[in-house]
Amino acid sequence: NAGVMQNPRHLVRRRGQEARLRCSPMKGHSHVYWYRQLPEEGLKFMVYLQKENIIDESGMPKERFSAEFPKEGPSILRIQQVVRGDSAAYFCASRFHNEKLFFGSGTQLSVL
């Protein structure tokens, strides 16, 4: 049973481009969470999804950011028109019901 898979591991984008970050949860896990870790700062919750539904997006910036978790395929965190302030490590985690979280290795986004 592979762990939580995130790709790409590193992503470089120029200002104004789009960034797509993918997360495949552990097999059997239907709860997916996205977190952001800005340089020299702590982790911050962004969004919680279950299959085809956004449950809690209270931590997501209102503009340019969106997330989905389709019936088939990985969860996607999409950032449109990236800016330098979006440079951060983005972590995905999954869980089975109320058990502990399993984290992916993260995607390091660098905006030039």
State which residue, 3 or 74, has the beta carbon closest to other proteins.
Answer: 3
Q: How far is CA 104 from CA 85, 87, 112, in A?
A: 22, 18, 24
Gap between the Cα atoms of 7 and 109, Å rounded? 11
CB 11 within 8 A of CB 111: no
Stretch in the footprint of other proteins (CB under 8 A) among 16-24, 33-41, 70-78, 80-88: 33-41
Total Cβ atoms within 10 A of residue 112: 10
Q: Is 59 in the site for other proteins (CB under 8 A)?
A: yes
**Shortest gap between Cβ of 52 and other proteins (angstroms)?**
16
Q: Binding residues for other proteins, per CB under 8 A?
A: 31, 33, 35, 41-45, 48, 55-56, 58-59, 89, 91, 93, 95, 98-103, 105-106, 108
